[in-house]
Structure 1
């Protein structure tokens, strides 16, 4: 199981995402990191574990209220050894192609409609798809959920009402995706609380998970990340 830390950016700072209610997200102030500065948050995560992949959601871009393009570019330059998955909402291929090489665009279903999803083909599978759900409802273009020809190899199953909820991941939905599409790699997002959740996900066929709250609250610890990632703890 690979843990991928999540950073949600809003109005220039890192915020605590909770159940998709973006208008109420507040700047991060946690046991792990008292600062909401993105560079300090990344350093705090790296103090927990030597993560090689991070997920950044530009909430301003996703909600059409500006963007963090310059700040994200600074991050990519400052940490060239890390791969950043960047969700900026609706992204034209040309715009995403201009980012530095240590990034991979995340295309969220909530940002696409049936009339715009044909543009996804331009990425030639060099992206990560996020299938977004609010409660039982699929968000965005229905065709993205029903037509796997649009899907790349790696697909996030994002259950927004579980984000920051401490309710656990949507194991049933994730298990069903793994069963139906065994040739794809699904990534869990939303509600992961502890090592046990990661173990259950791994048994269901999920081998990557997006995590924020459990890292900030230290309910997933350094040695547990090492253990579930299958790496030996150095003596």
Structure 2
């Protein structure tokens, strides 16, 4: 099992995500890290475990309320040996307007897409976004797997930060119906037991946040999953 910490950025701070209600997200202050500064948050994560990937959601960009482009560029430069998976609301039609460093992976969230007419770049990641059981974004993207890259996040926003467990039913459905894809669990993971169940379902990667911040997933447990 591959564990990837999540960092949500809003108003130049790392925020604690809960239930996908982004207007209510507050600057981070947790047992793991009392600071909402992104560089301090990453250092605390790295003190816990030598993570090689991080997932970043630029919420301002996703909501069309600004962006953290400069901050993310600084992260890419400061940590050249770490891969950053970045969802900044980029649409498929915009992707060719930019050049990216080698440690940047584009995440295309369906909530930011109106349509996809051609296969996404092989190294990109598609995030199938849900609020409860409602798909966010064009239904055609969810229905046509021909254009999906190999790596696909199943993001259940209402589960985020709620300590209620991931959406095992949805994860099992997609794993069964699209066995050629590498599905990545996101939303609601509480700790080791949930991760072990995900492994049983054939899920090999998970995005986590709250369970790290509140000590529900330890370094030894992460190591035991690798």
> TM range, normalised to the smaller chain?
over 0.9
Which position in structure 2 is the counterpart of 1:21?
21
RMSD: 1.0
**Equivalent runs, 1:67-146 vs 2, <5 Å:** 67-91=67-91, 92-95=94-97, 97-114=98-115, 117-118=116-117, 121=119, 123-146=120-143
1:160 aligns with 2:157: yes
Question: Residue deviations 1:112-139, cap 9 Å, x none?
Answer: 113xx23x64x43220000000011001
TM-score normalised by the chain length of structure 1: 0.93
Once superposed, which parts of structure 1, at least 4 consecutive aligned residues long, lie more than 4 Å away? Answer: none
| Mapped contact 1:129–1:151 kept (Cα < 8 A) | yes
Distance, in Å, in 2 between the alignment partners of 1:154 and 1:124 is 11
- Determine which of 222, 225, 235 is the counterpart of 2:222: 225
Deviation at 1:101, TM superposition (A): 1.1
Take 1:77 and 1:224, find their aligned partners in 2: how far apart are those partners? 30
Q: Is residue 49 from structure 1 mapped to residue 46 from structure 2 by the alignment? A: no
Number of residues paired by the alignment? 224
Q: Measure, in 2, the Cα distance between the counterparts of 1:94 and 1:124.
A: 11
Per the normalisation by structure 2, the TM-score is 0.97
Q: 2:212 aligns with which of 212, 215, 219?
A: 215
In 2, Cα distance between equivalents of 1:28 and 1:124: 33
Q: Deviation per CA, 1:47-97, whole angstroms, max 9, x where unpaired?
A: 1111001000000000000100000000000000000000001331124x4
The question of whether the paired residues in 2 share the 8 Å contact of 1:76 and 1:84 is answered with: yes
Contact 1:169 1:192 in 2 (8 A): yes
Runs of at least 5 residues in structure 2 that lack an aligned partner in the other structure: none
